[in-house]
Amino acid sequence: MSGITKSFPGVRALDGVDLDVQAGEVHCLLGQNGAGKSTLIKVLAGAHQPDDGRITWRGEDVALKSPIAAMRLGIATIYQELDLVEGLSVAENVFLGHEPTAAGFVVRGRGARRSASALLRRLGHPEIDPGRRVGGLSAAQQQIVSMARALSHDVRLIVMDEPSAALDPDETDNLFRIVADLTAAGVAVVYISHRLEEIRRIGDRVTVLKDGRAVAGGLPAKDTPTRDIVAMMTGRNVEYVFPDRPASPPDTAPVLRVEGLSREGEFAPVDLELRPGEILGLAGLVGSGRSEILETVYGARKPTTGRVIVDGRTLKPGSVRSAVRAGLGLAPEERKAQGLLMLESVTRNVSVSSLSRFSRGGWLDRGAERRDARRATRELSLRPDNPDARIRTLSGGNQQKAVLARWLLRGCRVLLLDEPTRGVDVGARAELYAVIRRLADDGLAVLLVSSEVPEVLGLADRVLVLREGRVVHTAPAGELDEHRVLDLVMEGSPSS
């Protein structure tokens, strides 16, 4: 691939990326969230069409017009979110879309099962029964099925997006064995992972992506020093402007206390305190439990142990309403799916959490609703300044402001922000940062989750670093730098 460029409205996701992969090698893709890895592999899988650039496959220029076209050439992709049909059996999933046929009829039962069974044996998992429903399998087993599906095609290149994220060490070892088998057979593997140690174990060469560009291509995976790789991942062309922190941390009583909060299988017991005016950042990779912690504090998930205390009052576990009543507000990670009423106007999106405030014996005081909602959106300089604008016509940054205005209107005291700048284009971020800091200065307590380390470091007063569901480090943001945080989240040990 050379000179691949792909733009989305407001974002240039890929900007002239080159990538060359040789038969029989494991080529690792590294980069922070938002660096363009996912977009790149989707181009490779035929799911996105590049705006510019060429793809050369075994010496010939090709156009990957659809996932099927890519698959026909022998390119298979195993996505992070598994794309299996839970209601079908293992064998049916493996051959989904290219069922073995005889005289035009789908061959069911034994033939397909035998082939599936052979593939699973090759993957070191003969214990998976091809007749079982996929929904009943563990995450690791599902991944194996997904891989079997890729292998059921005549495959020459396999793209694996964070394949080890859901696996325990033994299963990871097995995965590496499979990868080694594949490369020995001349298959090329593009391997995406956050874990440097894995890359060192199995990778041949590394390409580092950052802000949609390949900053380094074809580095030797075993010998390039960690420090260099981290430097390449973090060095930025675009510097965000973060607002100034207040000189001295606030000295008030904490408004939010979390004691021993945990959820089995997601995160180990967490303690934290948050004061009015303070921004506390949670840094960690995908799967480190940061969003889960936030949603559990908010009551959207029910904790296994521990409690959440606001102003000395313990919240009812697993009750969003209890949390909202106590003054918590969440700006969720998936803004469109979890936060907004996409068919509705700005006003209605802002007022939705404060309806009882505008209720006069059940009647809605629409004048007051509009007036107060507008006051809140103006305070955050939401544009356009039109309370009747449909929320879906707004930019990502202004949509996020509408969510913040919702909680401002509600008079909330603790704001939980999950990836507040996801899908917000670069120019609008600084403004959003300023808004968040201003809200904190006005006395709000903010708990911030972000996968972008500079964002956490730049915006928060204090930072908790998470790795695999555990808090591995706590420090004032001023005492940390990006390298150190990345070391912590990737290696888990405060080395270097």
Partner 1 sequence: MTQPASEAPQAPPPPAVTPPAAKAARPALGLRADVRNLSLLGVLAVLVAVGGITKPETFLDTSNLQLVLTQASVIGVVTVGMTFVITSGGIDLSVGAIVALASVWATTLATQEYGFAGILFTAVVVGVGCGLVNGLLIAYGGMVPFIATLAMLASARGLALQITDGKTQIVTVQPVLDLGVPDSYLLGVPPLVLVFAVVTVLGWLLLNRTTFGRRTVAVGGNAEAARLAGIDVRRQRLYLYLLSGLCCGIAAFLLIVLSGSGQNTNGNLYELDAIAAAIIGGTLLSGGRGTIVGSVLGVLVFTTITNIFALNNLESAVQQIAKGAIIVAAVLVQRSTLRNGET
Partner 2 sequence: MPEIPATSRRGLLFGTAAVSAGALLTACTSNEPKSAGTATGNAPAADDKPGKPVTIGFAGPQADHGWLAAINANAKQRAGKYSDVTLEITEGSNDTAAQIGQIQTLINKKVDVLVILPADGKALTQVGLQAMKAGIPVVNLDRIFASPQAYRCWIGGDNYGMGLNAGRFIGEQLKDKPNAKVIELAGMDNLELTKQRTQGFDDALKNYPNIRKVARQAAEFTVESGQAKMAQLLQAQKQFDALWNHDDDQGVGALRAIQQAGRDDFLMVGGAGAKSAMDAIKADNGVLKATVLYPPTMAASAIDLARALGQGKGIGGMAELEIPASVTLYSAVVTKDNVDQYLPTGFS
Task: Identify residues 195-234 at the interface with partner 2 (CB under 8 A).
Answer: none
Distance CA 448, CA 471 (A): 15
Length of the chain: 496
- Least distance (Å) between residue 190 CB and partner 1: 34
Specify the amino acid at residue 275. Answer: R
The number of residues that bind partner 2 (CB under 8 A) is 4
300 binds, among partner 2, partner 1, none (CB under 5 to 8 A by kind): partner 1
Specify the amino acid at residue 394. Answer: L
- By CB under 8 A, is residue 300 in contact with partner 2? no
355 binds, among partner 2, partner 1, none (CB under 5 to 8 A by kind): partner 1
- By CB under 8 A, is residue 319 in contact with partner 2? yes
- By CB under 8 A, is residue 316 in contact with partner 2? yes
- Least distance (Å) between residue 461 CB and partner 2: 34
- What SS3 class is residue 156? coil
- Least distance (Å) between residue 302 CB and partner 2: 15
Task: Output DSSP code: residue 89.
Answer: B
Which residues are bridge partners to 14 per DSSP? 6
- By CB under 8 A, is residue 396 in contact with partner 1? no
Distance of CA 249 to the CA centre of its chain: 30
Distance CA 91, CA 160 (A): 21
Task: Identify residues 160-219 at the interface with partner 1 (CB under 8 A).
Answer: none
Among residues 71, 56, 63, which one has the least CA distance to residue 19? Answer: 56
Can you read off the two tokens belonging to residue 133?
């429903």
215 binds, among partner 2, partner 1, none (CB under 5 to 8 A by kind): none
Which residues are bridge partners to 445 per DSSP? 414
Distance CA 16, CA 402 (A): 34
Contact call for residues 475 and 462 (beta carbons, < 8 A): yes
- By CB under 8 A, is residue 321 in contact with partner 2? yes
- By CB under 8 A, is residue 247 in contact with partner 1? no
Task: Identify residues 286-325 at the interface with partner 1 (CB under 8 A).
Answer: 298, 300, 320-321, 323-325
- Least distance (Å) between residue 341 CB and partner 1: 4
- Least distance (Å) between residue 326 CB and partner 2: 12
Convert residues 346-365 into a mask of x (bound to partner 1 by CB under 8 A) and - (unbound): --x--xxx-xx-xx--xxx-
Residue 285's Cβ-side half-sphere holds a number of Cα atoms within 13 Å equal to 20
- By CB under 8 A, is residue 320 in contact with partner 2? no
- By CB under 8 A, is residue 376 in contact with partner 1? no
* Phi and psi based region of residue 210 (left: phi greater than 0; alpha: psi -120 to 50; beta: remaining): beta
The smaller minimum CB distance to partner 2, of residues 108 and 321, is found at: 321
- By CB under 8 A, is residue 406 in contact with partner 1? yes
Which residues are bridge partners to 232 per DSSP? none
Contact call for residues 137 and 128 (beta carbons, < 8 A): yes
The smaller minimum CB distance to partner 2, of residues 33 and 319, is found at: 319
Count of beta carbons in the 10 Å neighbourhood of residue 306: 17
Calculate the dihedral angle through the C-alpha atoms of 342, 343, 348, 350, rounding to the nearest 10 degrees: 10
- By CB under 8 A, is residue 313 in contact with partner 2? no
339 binds, among partner 2, partner 1, none (CB under 5 to 8 A by kind): partner 1
The number of residues that bind partner 1 (CB under 8 A) is 31
- By CB under 8 A, is residue 322 in contact with partner 2? yes
Between CA 309 and CA 313, with CA 311 as vertex, the angle to 5 degrees is: 50
The smaller minimum CB distance to partner 1, of residues 34 and 339, is found at: 339
Tell me how far CA of residue 374 lies from CA of 70, 98, 104, 298, 385, in angstroms. Answer: 49, 55, 63, 26, 8
| Binding range to partner 1, per CB under 8 A, among 338-346, 424-432, 467-475, 487-495 | 338-346
- Least distance (Å) between residue 211 CB and partner 2: 47
Binding positions for partner 1, rule: CB under 8 A: 298, 300, 320-321, 323-325, 330, 332, 337-344, 348, 351-353, 355-356, 358-359, 362-364, 366, 406, 410
Binding positions for partner 2, rule: CB under 8 A: 316, 319, 321-322
